[in-house]
Amino acid sequence: MKMTKKGIMNTVITMAAILLVACGANTSKETSSAEQSTSPVLNQIKEKGTLVIGTSADYPPFEWHLVKDGKDTVVGYDIDISNAIAEKLGVKLEVKEMEFGSLVAAVKTGKIDMAIAGMNPTEERAKEVDFSKVYYETDIIAVIRKSDASKYTTFESLDGAKVGAQKGTVQEEIAIKNLPKAEVISQPKNNTLILALQQNKVDAVVMDKVVAEEFIKADDTLMVAPFATPAEKSGSAVAVQKNNEAFLAEIQAVLDELASSGQLDKFMVKNTELMSEQ
């Protein structure tokens, strides 16, 4: 087949266009994968030689204050996970304590490198920060006094009572939304809420089941109420600043590794045992 001059020109133009498109696609692909592999936060962590985590240490077995031989340290499941992440990055771990309700803002503004605090990756929080996959799941329940067992038999029966919940948590939201006639008492720490329950200042505290079980260990006048709350499962995830995919990928790799090796389960057993010793 003989091509006309115009035909050849057209073929050349088409080929050039194809080449351009191909190169274009290639370039944009390279940029996006380069974007994915950069993380200002990760770079800073490596520069500092320290991973700074933020948590609210009132939440055993996730994080709490262990006082041993006069020494007060923040320990827990989340701290063990954080240590594994720091180790993977080859840096030291620093734990910063703050109110639970301040954690998301602290991640967002770079005051801390990540938040790990038995935190649910809610839609609202996910607008501000990025989350790892859920690494632990539990139910949301209410803790009551055993002496009230016949009084509070359904979640709705708490409507009209004084119901405590940690400030800025999913539990607080559940209480406010579902118990319109209750007096919801929000406080920054779960320890003080349990104390208020013991002192008859509140009638119930809404919290994660696994945490409630730890608080109850120390006081057999309290119990997990035998009814469900109108909540979905409570899942914990790690929060990091947005646009730090490489950092999040490192965190996820450690979480996956800990889960598949059975180490995550071991961390849970170890920390519930540590709580029992106290």
| Contact set for ligand ARG, span 222-261 (CB under 6 A) | 234
Judged by CB, which is closer to ligand ARG: 82, or 166?
166
Contact between 213 and ligand ARG by CB under 6 A: the answer reads no
Locus of tokens 């799941």: 137
Q: What is the spatial distance between Cα 162 and Cα 210, in angstroms, rounded to a whole number?
A: 22
Instruction: Decide if 204 contacts 145 (C-beta within 8 A).
Output: no
Contact with ligand ARG (CB under 6 A) among 41, 66, 89, 120: 120
**Binding map of ligand ARG across residues 145-174, x = CB under 6 A, - = no contact:** ---------------------x--xxx---
Q: Which of 117, 175, 185, 258 binds ligand ARG (CB under 6 A)?
A: 117
Residue whose tokens read 């050039």: 16
Which residue, 117 or 161, is less far from ligand ARG as judged by CB?
117
Question: What is the Cα–Cα distance from 155 to 178, expressed in whole angstroms?
Answer: 9
Among 41, 53, 59, 247, binds ligand ARG (CB under 6 A): 59
The total of other beta-carbon atoms located within 10 Å of residue 265's CB is 11
**Closest by CA position to 198, among listed 146, 250, 123:** 146
CB 194 → ligand ARG: shortest distance, Å?
12
167 within 8 A of 193, measured Cβ to Cβ? no
Residues forming the site for ligand ARG (CB under 6 A): 55-56, 58-59, 62-63, 100, 117-120, 166, 169-171, 190, 208, 234
